Structure formats: structure tokens, C-alpha cells
């Protein structure tokens, strides 16, 4: 593992008899290709200590609901079984992640944290840092990059303008950071506390009081095995057609975003699987452009923009200027969030995209762009549009609340994009219309597929949204 993945945040200044190494697992909810875990095991083996992997399970994660928690819990149950098999102690504590860890710090020699980029993830890590700094001088604290292929701070020291400014930098670092990763075997398998078993999602979620307004997805299930099932099927039959993956009716995408969001699979592992496949280099590059360049551009955006989720800070000066110039343009249609959720707009393609979102927890990338652009067109102000898009995005998508969520939405307001010919409502921001859909794709086939989802899912009867 390249040493630049690892940051030694605090050096131990006092020796004290320690009982274990502690890994704060939060973003990287997996065993395979988990650099933070690999480093924590190496530390445990160096000191001949056992390893405790700690996960703080909060019911208060912002904007999270049953759909997200179920997907995460499915992954955690699989992970708990894996750790048990490997002789690693896994502790799920029902508390805020930065609070539940405190009792474990007392007897820890080293604490290893994985990395997450959203505000709350960074705040948790800052709080743990402060707690160790003030009260636990015996601890060596490390953070290990396990989410981006290239550590965000190494690629660039600023918010980048777009894919065209970051692509070269990312590729320059790639040879150093793209090695495969084998997880070392833990030597000391002593269990510190009594073993717990996490048998079902219901059991795992029972102790926390979560928002249950949105049901779990019937179509997508969490966990590394599921992620591997999807990516294997994708590589064997869909990747070869990836250049047509913009077509929403063709279902040629990987569905990896939700697994990546919960860290249930590593983008580096996906990278290797794609690199080792038999498709042409051109097709591999097209997929890696999304998985690597676009995804890590999103990490750059949320890392360097402290207000990445506030309308006033998400886009570029030319985009704000054009919005000011067009803020009073007449709107032919305006709709409320409730109209969207109940598929009540005049646009069947938009309604179909909403059906995909509401019923499955996913939406095709092209339809995400179209969907958000329509909400901009039909809202009374740009800020209102932003708030509705963000809210729907983070409520319904399993992959919502991610760096890619904020970046994808910001892109619809001109971020990382260029100025286009001026037009009504959008000004110079890129516009999308339904004739693009009908001209390029068999979009009625997409509509038909989404109607099928609707017919096979009982949703509105069960829940109130
Ligand atoms: C308005 C809007 C909202 C979005 N909200 C989210 C969100 O909440 N969560 C989320 O993960 N993504 C979001 N995206 C980005 C993108 O649409 C999804 O990542 C993608 O559709 C996921 O499907 P997939 O994994 O099957 O994609 P594939 O085409 O199979 O791509 C593989 C991987 O590449 C990355 N990728 C693909 N497209 C993009 C993109 N446009 N930008 C950055 N990375 C990309 C993802 O990690 C994805 O899993 C949004 C985009 C827009 C325009």
C-alpha cells in the first residue's frame, strides 16, 4: 500500500498497557479492498494485539430512512459474519459514531479511521481526533484513504473547474495507487468481549428509532456479495455495450453507485475487474472515466467546498449571473414536490423517472439529468428547485446523501459544465428537453419498464410520503 494513503494524525506521547488496536469503520463498510482495515491488521500484528472493528450505529443520520438503513444493515450483517470467520472482533454500538467509540479508547494502542468526505463524516472524525488529543495520549491515531483511488488532498489542493482540469492529475497518480490489495491475516484472534450475532435486518435495526416513511427497495439489496453479483453480471454481458449506456431503456449500467455509497465495494476493486475484462480499451476507458474521473471529481468538490450543499455556494459565477438575469422568466408549468412524488406532471418521461426513483431507489444517469433539469424548469425559483431536487434525491435514492449526489445536482446548475446558448429560464445553463429523449432513445420502452415497476410494487398504499 502506498504510504501516502496513510496519515499519522497523532503520535502517542505516553506508554500505557494496551489491549487492542481499534479500527473506526464508517465509510468503508467492507472487508475486501479495505486499506484502512489492512493497515489496522498490520498494526495489530506488529504489536501482537487483537483488533476491534468498531461501528457506531446512529438512527439520526441526516436524511436517512428505512430504505437506506435496510441496505446498510444487509451489508453489515454480511460483514459481521466475515469478520467472525477471520477472527476479527466486530462491535456494533448503537450511538453516534463519535460518541460510542469513547469507551473503547481507554485500552486502545492505535486507532485507525477510514475516510469520508461529507460534512457529518468529517465532523465525526474531527471529534474523535479532539477526544484522543485531549484525553488519550497513549494512542497513535491514523487515517487511511480507502474510498477514493487517489487520496483527495494529493490530487489537488483546490476545488477543480471540471473533469478537464482534474483528469490528467488523477491519471498521473494512478500507477502508484492502483495496486491490488490483499487483506493480511490477523495473528492474535483473542476476542475481547462476548461475541454478538446479528441475524436479521429487523433485529439489527430494532434498537434504533429510524424514519420509516420510505420502504426498503424490493429490487436492490445491500452487501458485498450483492455488489459482486451485479458487477460480475455487468462485466460479462453489459460492459461491452457501455458506449450505449446513456440510453435509459437499455439497462446497460453497473448499479455500483449504491454499493460504493455505503463502501460495500471498493472502486479500486471494480477498476481491476474492468481492467481485467476482455472488452476493448476504449470501452474500459469510457467506464473508468465515470468510476474514477467523475467520481473523484465529486470527492474534490465536496472536500474543497465547505458549503457544497447550499444553493448559494454550489456553482460558478457565470451560472449565478445567468440565473439572476432569468429569475423572472415566465414558467409554463409549475409543480410541487407532492405532484412529483405522485407522478402528476404533464411529462410522462419525467413521471417515469420518478417511478424508477420511488419504487426502486435508483434512477438511470441520463434520466437523473433530465429529471433535475425539469424541476429547475417547473419551480418558482432556482433555490426552490435546488431544495426539491436535493430532498427527493436524498430521500429516495439508495445512493443519495453522497458526494456524487451534491456534485450531480450542482452540475445541473452549471457546475463543472460550460455556458450554452442563452434561452428562457435556463439562461446559459444547459437545457434538456423531451425531444432529445425521443430522438435519441426508445424512450417509450423506458416508460413501459417503469410502469411495470409500478404494477409490481405496492408503495403508496403502504406508506405516506
Ligand atoms: C441530478 C443528479 C443527481 C445524482 N445523484 C447521485 C446520487 O445521489 N448518488 C450517486 O452516487 N450518484 C448520483 N449522480 C451521479 C450518477 O447519476 C450516478 O452515480 C449513476 O447514475 C449511478 O449509476 P451506476 O452506478 O449504474 O452508473 P455507471 O454508469 O455504471 O457508472 C459506474 C460508476 O461511475 C460513477 N459515475 C457514473 N456516473 C457519474 C456521474 N455523472 N458523476 C459522477 N460519478 C459517476 C459512479 O460511481 C457509478 O457507480 C447524480 C447525477 C445527477 C445528474
Q: 454: pLDDT confidence band, cut at 50, 70 and 90? A: confident
Determine, yes or no, domain membership for 465: no
**Cβ(339)–Cβ(345) under 8 Å?**
yes
* 388 and 405 share one domain: yes
Domain count, the chain: 3
Res. 135 pLDDT band, cuts 50 70 90: very high
297 lies in the same domain as 153: yes
Q: Is 256 a member of any domain?
A: yes
Residue 304's nearest CA partner among 313, 295, 294, 317 is 313
User: Which whole number is the average pLDDT over 33-45?
Assistant: 98
| Cβ neighbours of residue 236 closer than 8 Å, sequence gap 6 or more | none
Domain end call among 273, 304, 335? 304
Mean pLDDT of the chain: 96
Q: Cα of 206 to ligand 1 centre, how many Å? A: 31
The CATH number that applies at residue 77 is 3.40.50.620
> What is the arithmetic mean of pLDDT over 157-186?
97
* Residue 463 pLDDT class (50, 70, 90 cuts): very low
Q: Which of 161, 168, 157, 156 is nearest to 416 (CA)?
A: 161
Q: Are residues 241 and 385 in the same domain?
A: no
CATH, residue 354: 1.10.579.10
- Pair (143, 156) in one structural domain: no
Q: What is the pLDDT of residues 420-434, one digit of tens each?
A: 999 999 999 999 999
Residues 120 and 175 in one domain: no
Domain boundary among 123, 147, 171: 147
Residues 67, 73: Cα–Cα separation, whole Å: 10
What is the structure's pLDDT at 349? 98
Measured in Å, residue 326 CA sits from the centre of ligand 1 at: 29
* CATH code for the domain in which residue 169 is found: 1.25.40.80
- Same domain assignment for residues 251 and 368: no
DSSP for 300-359, written as a single string: HHHHH-TTTTSGGGSS-HHHHHHHHHHTT---S----HHHHHTT-SS-HHHHHHHHIIII
Instruction: State mean pLDDT over 298-317.
Output: 98
Please state the φ and ψ torsions of residue 391, each to the nearest 5 degrees: -65, -50
Ligand 1 atom, smallest distance to 372 CA: 1
CA-nearest residue, atom 37 of ligand 1: 290
Q: Are residues 316 and 285 in the same domain?
A: no
Point out the ligand 1 atom lying closest to the alpha carbon of residue 393: 8
Q: Find the angle CA(142)-CA(147)-CA(153) to the nearest 5 degrees.
A: 65
Mean pLDDT of 251-257: 97
Task: Give the pLDDT confidence score for residue 461 in this predicted structure.
Answer: 44
**Same domain flag for 29 and 104:** yes
Q: How far is CA 253 from the centre of its chain?
A: 16
Residues facing residue 7 across a β-bridge: 143
Alpha-carbon span 453 to 253, nearest angstrom: 18
Mean pLDDT of 249-262: 97
What mean pLDDT comes out for the span 75-97? 96
Which tens digits make up the pLDDT trace of 292-304? Answer: 999 999 999 999 9
From 261, 260, 278, select the one nearest 269 (Cα to Cα). 260
Would 195 be classed as within a structural domain?
Answer: no
Per residue in 199-237, pLDDT tens?
899 999 999 999 999 999 999 999 999 999 999 999 999
> Does the structure show a pLDDT above 60 at 460?
no
Q: Measuring from atom 19 of ligand 1, which residue has the nearest CA?
A: 257
Q: Report which protein residue has its CA nearest ligand 1's atom 6.
A: 405
Residue 457 binned pLDDT confidence (cut-offs 50, 70, 90): confident
Residues with CB under 6 A from ligand 1: 245, 253-257, 260-261, 290-291, 294-295, 298, 365, 368-369, 372, 393, 397, 399-400, 402, 404-405, 408-409, 411-412
pLDDT on residue 462: 47
Query: Model-level pTM?
Result: 0.97
The answer on 367 and 268 residing in a single domain is no
Is there a single domain that holds both residue 280 and residue 165?
yes
Report the C-alpha gap between 394 and 435 in whole angstroms: 28
pLDDT at 49: 96
Based on the domain organization, do 154 and 300 belong to the same domain? yes
* Co-location of 353 and 298 in the same domain: no
- Residue 329 placed within a domain: yes
* pLDDT above 50 for 186: yes
Residue 251: CB atoms within 10 Å: 13
Range of the domain at 137: 3-147
Ligand 1 atom with least separation from CA of 297: 43
E strands present in 49-185: 51-56, 89-93, 108-114, 140-144
196 in a domain, yes or no?
A: no
Would you say residue 39 lies in a domain?
Answer: yes
54 alpha carbon – ligand 1 mean position (Å): 29
Atom of ligand 1 nearest to the CA of 371: 1
252, 275, 304 - which closes a domain: 304
pLDDT at 35 over 50: yes
Amino acid at each position: 500500500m502506498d504510504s501516502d494513503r496513510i496519515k499519522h494524525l497523532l503520535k502517542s506521547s505516553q506508554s500505557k498497557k494496551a489491549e487492542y488496536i481499534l479500527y473506526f469503520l464508517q465509510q468503508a463498510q467492507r472487508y475486501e479492498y479495505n486499506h484502512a482495515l489492512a493497515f489496522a491488521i498490520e498494526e495489530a500484528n506488529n504489536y501482537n494485539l487483537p483488533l476491534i472493528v468498531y461501528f457506531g450505529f446512529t438512527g439520526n443520520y441526516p436524511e436517512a430512512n428505512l430504505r437506506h438503513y435496510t441496505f446498510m444493515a444487509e451489508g453489515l450483517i454480511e460483514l459481521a459474519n466475515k469478520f467472525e470467520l477471520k477472527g476479527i472482533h466486530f462491535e456494533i454500538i448503537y450511538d453516534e459514531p463519535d460518541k460510542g467509540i469513547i469507551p473503547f479508547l481507554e485500552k486502545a494502542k492505535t486507532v485507525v479511521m477510514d475516510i469520508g468526505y461529507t460534512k457529518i463524516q468529517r465532523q465525526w472524525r474531527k471529534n474523535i481526533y479532539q477526544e484522543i488529543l485531549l484525553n488519550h495520549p497513549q494512542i497513535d491515531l491514523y487515517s487511511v484513504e480507502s474510498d477514493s483511488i487517489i487520496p483527495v488532498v494529493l490530487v489537488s489542493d483546490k476545488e477543480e473547474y471540471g473533469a478537464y482540469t482534474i483528469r490528467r492529475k488523477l491519471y498521473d497518480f494512478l500507477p502508484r495507487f492502483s495496486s491490488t490489495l490483499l487483506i493480511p491475516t490477523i495473528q492474535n484472534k483473542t476476542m475481547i468481549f462476548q461475541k454478538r450475532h446479528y441475524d436479521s435486518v429487523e433485529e439489527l435495526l430494532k434498537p434504533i428509532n429510524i424514519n420509516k416513511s420510505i420502504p426498503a427497495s424490493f429490487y436492490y439489496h445491500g452487501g458485498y456479495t450483492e455488489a459482486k453479483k451485479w458487477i460480475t453480471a455487468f462485466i460479462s454481458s453489459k460492459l461491452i455495450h457501455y458506449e450505449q449506456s446513456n440510453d435509459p431503456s437499455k439497462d446497460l449500467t453497473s448499479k455500483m453507485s449504491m454499493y460504493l455509497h455505503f463502501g460495500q465495494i471498493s472502486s479500486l476493486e471494480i477498476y481491476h475487474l474492468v481492467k481485467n475484462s476482455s472488452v476493448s480499451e476504449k470501452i474500459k476507458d469510457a467506464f473508468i472515466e465515470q468510476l474514477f474521473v467523475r467520481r473523484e471529481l465529486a470527492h474534490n468538490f465536496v472536500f474543497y467546498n465547505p458549503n457544497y450543499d447550499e444553493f448559494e455556494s454550489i456553482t460558478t459565477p457565470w451560472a449565478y449571473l445567468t440565473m439572476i438575469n432569468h429569475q423572472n422568466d415566465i414558467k409554463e408549468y409549475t409543480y410541487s414536490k407532492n405532484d412529483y412524488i405522485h407522478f402528476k406532471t404533464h411529462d410522462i418521461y419525467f413521471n417515469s423517472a420518478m417511478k424508477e426513483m420511488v419504487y426502486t431507489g435508483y434512477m438511470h444517469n441520463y434520466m437523473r439529468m433530465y429529471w433535475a433539469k425539469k424541476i429547475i424548469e417547473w419551480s418558482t425559483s432556482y433555490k426552490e428547485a435546488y431544495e426539491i431536487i436535493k430532498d427527493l434525491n436524498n430521500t429516495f435514492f439508495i445512493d443519495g446523501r453522497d458526494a456524487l449526489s451534491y456534485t450531480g445536482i450542482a452540475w445541473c446548475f452549471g457546475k463543472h459544465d460550460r455556458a450554452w446558448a442563452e434561452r428562457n429560464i435556463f439562461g446559459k445553463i444547459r437545457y434538456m428537453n423531451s425531444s432529445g429523449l425521443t430522438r435519441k432513445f426508445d424512450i417509450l420502452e423506458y416508460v413501459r419498464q417503469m410502469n411495470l415497476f409500478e404494477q409490481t410494487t405496492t408503495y403508496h398504499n403502504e406508506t405516506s410520503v
